[in-house]
Chain A
């Protein structure tokens, strides 16, 4: 089955700096890659997603890049704010995964004011 690895597990940045979280996946048939933000005591919230026919997608301060050849994708947050502090999860799925998402182990991001 699919295996998703996520790095780093923890990340601290100063407010205003950029944060980058990286994920790799094992199955080249995966074609959908969402990113979720999970705050303490809440469920994961979809923040951005990308499909394999696109190399990059941007939504205000958040962007995701995908390298299908290397089988890795990254989340970029620019001009970080304290409210960006949360745990971020990447995931991968595709028609071959039987509708299930395979999640990474999460990155705990702390933005220091």
Chain B
């Protein structure tokens, strides 16, 4: 088990609503990456946060946004939810600047269902 935690575990929203997902990184880690995993697919990179700023972004529209806090925890916000946003949202933490920056450890995910 990694020390990465996510909340909530499950969430049901309706189309057009907004959602906020939360992630606490593993102790000693300062970087958080967010991924979207559709059913039967591999995770797709949304963006990464380091030093409270976005540090890389995948092919996702601006209605996907995020924050990182001084304690390195992070939020993923999705506005104007669409049916296709239904997926497992994964948070991964890593350490930038301490060697082995590439190694990412995933949390259990938040299952989002948009109706």
Contact = CB atoms under 8 A, between A and B. Distances in A.
Interface stretch (A36-44, A57-65, A75-83): A36-44
Interface residues of B, number: 26
Contacts of B56: 98-100
A18 interface: no
Interface stretch (B13-21, B62-70, B78-86, B106-114): B106-114
B8 interface: no
Contacts, number: 61
Query: What secondary structure prevails in chain A residues at the interface with B?
Result: strand
Interface residues of A, number: 24
Nearest to A1: B59
Contact of B102 (A32, A43, A103, A104): A32
Given A44-B43, A106-B40, A100 B48 contact: yes
Interface of A: 4, 6, 32, 34, 36, 41-46, 49, 89, 91, 93, 98-106
Given A46-B105, A103-B42, 12 more contacts: A6-B42, A36-B106, A43-B106, A44-B43, A89-B42, A100-B45, A100-B48, A101-B35, A101-B45, A102-B45, A103-B43, A106-B41
